[in-house]
Amino acid sequence: MINQWEDFEAGPTRPASDRIHVTLSPRNVILLNGNIYDQMVKPEAVVLMFDKLHTMIGLRPTHLDRPGAFPVRQKGRGRHRLIRATPFCKHYGIKVDRHTAFIEPEVDADGILKLDLRKTFGVNRKG
């Protein structure tokens, strides 16, 4: 028998206080948890960027008055933030059929949140 193993790259669940979590929904909403939002130094808006060669989304903090800036809005009463990215996703043909989490979201030395579309997994929503 030949096994068709698939690595589970997401790893174990980290404590909520340490966890960084970013998802993209089928409705093109990027959701940031409070920890990653803090790492980005709590921007009021972001510029969305796309690297076609590496299939990566970039979020660069900016001010609301910058042309092309996407507002970062609070989701409910918690620390989560969301960005409605439909024009961006449509322009670059980015489409997910379920809520998709990024395995290794990282904020680089320039403050840009990098999201690799090749390193994701589907997530179930509560409720």
Determine the Cα–Cα distance for residues 102 and 94; give it in Å rounded to an integer: 14
3 in a structural domain: no
| Inside any domain, residue 103 | yes
Residue 110 placed within a domain: yes
Whether 98 maps to a domain, the answer reads yes
- What pLDDT, on the 0 to 100 scale, is given for residue 127? 46
Domain count, the chain: 1
The answer to whether position 17 is within a domain reads: no
pTM to 2 decimal places:
0.86
Predicted local distance difference test score (pLDDT) of residue 124: 76
Average pLDDT by consecutive 10-residue portion of the chain (127 residues)?
Answer: 82 77 97 96 97 97 96 92 98 96 94 96 74
Where helices occur in 1-127 by DSSP H, the ranges are 34-39, 86-92
Residue 2 lies in a domain: no
Residue range of the domain that includes 37:
22-121
